[in-house]
Amino acid sequence: MRGRVLIIAGSDSGGGAGIQADIKAVTALGGYAATAITAITVQNTLGVHGVHPLPLDLIEAQARAVLDDIGADAIKTGMLGSVEVVERVAAILDSTPTPVVVDPVMVAKGGAALLDAGAVEAVRSLMIPRAALLTPNAPEAEALTGVLVADLDGQRRAGAALLEMGAGAVLMKGGHVPGPTVVDLLVTASGETMLEGPRIDTTSTHGTGCTLASAIAAGIAQGRTLEQATAEGWAYVAEAIRRAPGLGGGHGPLDHGWPLRDR
């Protein structure tokens, strides 16, 4: 069976982001999700109210148990949290040839920091070179490169800088870039692919980054090209935002399950 995705990320008790969103996205798109949880967060649509990292040996044991038995056709990393976790996850990635989608999670939708300040350099030096695809939003790309990302030109320049830092490909997400449309730019050594759609006026955007990275990982795991997986994942997330159920009093979750109902 192809389509196995190992997700190494934090848990979101509210179910809108993190491991929960990852599992929903991979499952809805026909893949098989397995997990190695890095931290337990106390979280809902109003924000992150607590973060409890798991021991390094336990994080690694989860990943090894999956890789040694079930296997993986793609790996997706999300919230890592600290230098020590980044270092341990990098070592895990070095033990397998499986392609990795790296979502460099730094800040939650409500503003809570999900990556220690000192760990940014670890992500820069250890995760970027191991990424078959890196999926930063504008603030994350700015933090990693020092390049201002305020327009499409900034997305291009930051994407090029991240390629130079070792990423196999970069999806420069444009949700934070002002404008009536949202442009995500897939940048590779051979060129770029632009994904553009109207900006949706909604507060239901919790977990969009986690969901998109996992959706793309599911496509890669099922044998699609990077361009195919990215386009399909992008379309899936856009529709999930449009169909969001409107839960909670803050940044609400997406409708991850819409493809299952449509079938």
Q: How far apart are CA 227 and CA 232, in angstroms?
A: 9
Active site includes 209? yes
Active site includes 208? yes
Active site includes 173? yes
Pick from 165, 3, 163, 9: nearest CA to 76: 9
Q: Per the residue annotation, which of 35, 208, 211, 230 is the catalytic one?
A: 208
Q: How far apart are CA 58 and CA 102, in angstroms?
A: 21
User: Is residue 252 within 8 Å of residue 258, measured between CB atoms?
Assistant: no
Q: Which residue has the tokens 């040839």?
A: 97
User: Is residue 4 within 8 Å of residue 31, measured between CB atoms?
Assistant: yes
Q: Per the residue annotation, which of 3, 81, 174, 209 is the catalytic one?
A: 209
Active site includes 27? no
Q: Per the residue annotation, which of 16, 173, 211, 230 is the catalytic one?
A: 173
Pick from 239, 151, 152: nearest CA to 198: 239
DSSP E strand boundaries for 153-262: 169-172, 181-188, 191-198
Q: Per the residue annotation, which of 18, 81, 154, 207 is the catalytic one?
A: 207
Q: Per the residue annotation, which of 135, 205, 211, 230 is the catalytic one?
A: 205
Q: Per the residue annotation, which of 10, 109, 145, 210 is the catalytic one?
A: 210
Active site includes 205? yes
DSSP 14-30: TSSSHHHHHHHHHHHTT
Supply the residues annotated as catalytic.
173, 205, 207-210
